[in-house]
Amino acid sequence: MKTKDELPECPVATTVSMIGSKWKLLIIRNLLVRPWRFNELKKDLDGISQKVLTDSLRAMEEDGIITRTVYPEVPPRVEYSLSELGESMRPILDAMWQWGTEYKNTFS
Over residues 17-53, the pLDDT tens digits come to 888 888 999 999 999 999 999 999 999 999 999 999 9
- Give the pLDDT confidence score for residue 17 in this predicted structure: 82
Per-residue pLDDT at 54 exceeds 90: yes
Q: Which of 64, 93, 66, 89 is nearest to 79 (CA)?
A: 66
Tell me if 44 sits within 8 A of 34, measured CB to CB. no
Per-residue pLDDT at 2 exceeds 90: no
Q: What is the pTM of this model?
A: 0.86
- The one-letter amino acid at 58: R
- Give the pLDDT confidence score for residue 19 in this predicted structure: 84
Tell me if 50 sits within 8 A of 38, measured CB to CB. no
- The one-letter amino acid at 12: V
